Amino acid sequence: MNKLITIAFLLLANHALWAQTPCEDFRAYLYNKEYGVFLKIDFCDESITIPDQDFYGSLPGYMGKKVNNFIWLITSAEVKGKKAKLTMINEFGSEDLIASLVRENDSLYVFRQEEGSQLKLSQKGKWQKMPKKMEFIRQKE
């Protein structure tokens, strides 16, 4: 009987070691098809580097568009459960904002701008204002 209890305990302990931490939910490539916007994030290790812009160093992530290289940097991210609070700046450092990113399910994330500058990204040579709320789908990069 003691062996059975010990084996059951070891199996449960092993399963707990492999369980995904809340931070793992925020290591992803997320895409919003409607606006052509993506989020590349790693809030666990803050190990994201921006292609051709290594001078920013390692960051928690960034937001950009596939059609140009203008970005918003995520300078800090604090994860609590299924919600992350983000601080972001544009690549010039002239605008900043605070936003939240909530994991709704395995593939759906909701981005909400809470305060700060209007989120704008370049679209065909003009600034396109992004909505305060956007839904992102988890994808492979």
pLDDT tens-digit map of 118-134: 998 888 888 889 999 99
State how far the Cα of 139 lies from the Cα of 29, in Å rounded to an integer.
Answer: 6
Q: Look at residues 130, 126, 128, 82 and name the one whose alpha carbon lies nearest to residue 106.
A: 82
Inform me whether the pLDDT recorded for 48 exceeds 80: yes
| Position 11 confidence tier, pLDDT thresholds 50, 70, 90 | low
Q: Which residues, 6 or more positions from 68, have their beta carbon under 8 angstroms from its beta carbon?
A: 121, 122
| Position 16 confidence tier, pLDDT thresholds 50, 70, 90 | very low
Q: Which residues, 6 or more positions from 24, have their beta carbon under 8 angstroms from its beta carbon?
A: 44
CA 95 to chain centre: 19
pTM of the predicted structure, to 2 decimals:
0.81
